[in-house]
Amino acid sequence: MTMRVLVTGHEGYVGSVMAPMLAEAGYDVVGLDTGFYAECTLVPDRVRVPVIRKDLRDVEARDLDGFDAVIHLGALSNDPIGNLNPAWTEEINFTASVRLAELAKAAGVRRFLFSSSCIMYGMSEAAVVNEVSPLDPKTEYARSKVQAERAIAALADETFSPTFLRNGTIYGLSPRMRFDTVLNNLTGSAAATGRVVLHSNGEPWRPVIHVRDVSRAFLHVLQAPIEAIHSQAFNNGANDMNHQIRELAEVVVATVPGARLECLASADADQRTYRTDFSKFARTFPDFRFRWTIRDGAQELFEAFRAIGLTAEDFVDRRFTRLTWLRHLLDTGRLNHSLRWQAQGALHS
Ligand SMILES: NC(=O)c1ccc[n+]([C@@H]2O[C@H](COP(=O)([O-])OP(=O)(O)OC[C@H]3O[C@@H](n4cnc5c(N)ncnc54)[C@H](O)[C@@H]3O)[C@@H](O)[C@H]2O)c1
């Protein structure tokens, strides 16, 4: 029987790649999204899935009826938005996420896949962090993910199996493109302006993962035997997906003809560094292979940007930086003080 999957945040950067992939793989997919970034499209969507147009904070029991699984991507998705108003990040990423999981459990939804983040390890003293390393969330965003994981894990029982996939920084082409993540930013800048700007000395390490590999990994976990994934956290990726920022920049320079590297290392630059151990994922899912390298990813991005003629204006356009776009919606009165649409504010497709 076809598995029915609710994907929250399906109109975001990851969701607008993952939801079509699930639909094409034969799942019966329904999305739930308030549409914050509905107008922030860089390349057209290939497939649209049916949508429940709703704020996560307003989800009701009946929204969960009839689903076999929930993939929960919906969130305020970075640190800068957390700084804009910490209460919104706590409400949406923590309180509403836990409520969604409670409603899912009550509705008999068996699997709940939560899109988490390696950022929760903070600036670990350990050179390499795995799933049992101490969590050290330094920001509201990171704290919201830790709190949500803990509270949702506490709901696990023989009827409800949550799984936490902790992603590194995601890159790659998506209809709802983001230029505020590292490899997308470096490649976009190179393609649009010919410059690749490093704000640190480039030494910090980051785990990075392609958006299609993220989606494939979620799909794999959706199909995995329950006993392998029940109430488990996984760093989502492979050990060769840790890179120094400088290496990312060098790959971009090698990919984009004429691009040049500029180092603006300043004293207050972000020097946070960590490497992530992904062996639990490899051990648990020995048949799964991550397919994308940073070279292939940078090449894919460059070709897409060339095909659409990405300009310097497009690259800095507020639609492709999450914080700037939300600020714009607030400044123009389309979102109100609780980060909800004003009547008439939403321009829903
Ligand atoms: N992009 C990354 O590098 C990255 C890394 C680690 C983890 N993650 C996590 O993966 C998930 C997806 O990230 P993304 O990059 O696609 O983020 P995104 O900001 O592009 O998309 C998030 C989606 O959630 C929706 N949303 C936000 N608040 C909502 C609310 N209150 N009600 C209904 N819908 C709401 C937005 O409209 C948007 O479509 C997030 O949970 C994020 O924290 C992302």
CATH number of residue 193's parent domain: 3.40.50.720
Which band of pLDDT confidence, cut at 50, 70 and 90, is reported for residue 349?
very low
pLDDT of residue 209: 98
Interatomic CA distance for residues 227 and 117, integer angstroms: 23
Output the CA 251–ligand 1 centroid distance in Å: 27
211 Cα nearest atom in ligand 1: 1
On whether residue 338 sits in a domain, the answer given is no
Interatomic CA distance for residues 13 and 192, integer angstroms: 20
Four-residue CA torsion sign, 220, 181, 263, 258: positive
| CA distances for 348 relative to 26, 44, 155, angstroms | 26, 16, 34
The answer to whether the CB of 12 is under 6 A from ligand 1 is yes
Residue nearest to atom 2 of ligand 1 (CA): 170
On whether residue 346 sits in a domain, the answer given is no
Interatomic CA distance for residues 41 and 320, integer angstroms: 8
Residue nearest to atom 12 of ligand 1 (CA): 73
Output the CA 144–ligand 1 centroid distance in Å: 13
Which band of pLDDT confidence, cut at 50, 70 and 90, is reported for residue 46?
confident
On whether residue 226 sits in a domain, the answer given is yes
Other Cβ atoms less than 10 A from the Cβ of 338: the count is: 11
Q: What is the mean pLDDT of residues 338-343?
A: 94
Output the CA 124–ligand 1 centroid distance in Å: 24
On whether residue 178 sits in a domain, the answer given is yes
Where would I find the H helices in the chain? Answer: 15-24, 79-84, 86-89, 96-106, 140-153, 182-193, 211-223, 226-229, 245-255, 279-284, 294-308, 312-316, 322-331
Other Cβ atoms less than 10 A from the Cβ of 231: the count is: 16
Among 192-196, 261-265, 323-327, the least confident range: 261-265
On whether residue 348 sits in a domain, the answer given is no
The answer to whether the CB of 75 is under 6 A from ligand 1 is yes
The answer to whether the CB of 117 is under 6 A from ligand 1 is yes
pTM, to two decimals: 0.97
DSSP for 186-230 reads: HHHHHHHHSEEEESS-S--EEEEEEHHHHHHHHHHHHHS-HHHHT
Q: Which residues pair with 209 in a beta bridge?
A: 170
On whether residue 156 sits in a domain, the answer given is yes
pLDDT of residue 164: 98
Interatomic CA distance for residues 16 and 318, integer angstroms: 19
Domains: count for the chain:
1
> pLDDT tens digit string along 63-96?
999 999 999 999 999 988 988 899 999 999 999 9
Residue nearest to atom 21 of ligand 1 (CA): 12
On whether residue 336 sits in a domain, the answer given is no
Instruction: Please determine, for residue 348, whether its predicted confidence score (pLDDT) is greater than 60.
Output: no
The answer to whether the CB of 169 is under 6 A from ligand 1 is yes
Contact yes or no for 4/30 (Cβ under 8 A) = yes
| Residue range of the domain that includes 148 | 4-331
On whether residue 130 sits in a domain, the answer given is yes
58 Cα nearest atom in ligand 1: 32
Interatomic CA distance for residues 165 and 285, integer angstroms: 13
Interatomic CA distance for residues 342 and 145, integer angstroms: 27
Strands 4-8 and 69-72: parallel
Residue that the structure tokens 């970034």 belong to: 37
Strands 260-263 and 161-167: unpaired
Which band of pLDDT confidence, cut at 50, 70 and 90, is reported for residue 267?
low
Q: Tokens for 323, please give them.
A: 């914080």
Q: What is the mean pLDDT of residues 48-71?
A: 97
